[in-house]
Structure 1
Amino acid sequence: MIAGSRVIYQWEKAIPTNMALVKKAFAVMNFAYTVLVLNYSCVGFMLLSKHETLASYGSVYYIGTLIPIALIILGYIIPAKPASFKARKEQ
């Protein structure tokens, strides 16, 4: 789950500073992702039963497991290319 957030963060940092709206959209997306996975993962600690935990994860179609996996795979397919040093120096 942390690796998925890291992918979003790398994409956010690769966006030039002159595209502030897109950068903020990535920040909001990272916040929403964090809220989703924290709420999803805390269920296991609240229930403390494997059967009930898997039942609750199944009730939301394992979305908190599938989204991080999808983000990690997308991170390999669409790698973040950081802004060049020259471009960062000019800004």
Structure 2
Amino acid sequence: MSEHETEPTTEQGFWAQGRHPVNVGQLVMGLAFLGLVTVWVLLSADVADGDALSWLLPVPWLVAGAAGLLATTLGAARRRGPAQPAPGQDGR
């Protein structure tokens, strides 16, 4: 390898596969915003009344949080690689 070439990083590998790393913060806030807009549309279209607001408003936050946890967990598992033992659990 010449002195100007660099080793491919994990991020470059994602781009080479046609994928890019997920920004979890943007994913969570985007889903929360989309959910809150959906709640607003349901209320303004009279599909749901004001009494439903007490259980409708937490739903977007729960869904967005669950998506964030899932993205974080899958990202960590993907970075660790297939079938590697967790640190400190090498079977000895």
Query: Given the two structures, how large is their TM-score scaled by the length of structure 1?
Result: 0.39
RCO greater where, 1 or 2, for CA within 8 Å and sep 6 or more?
A: 1
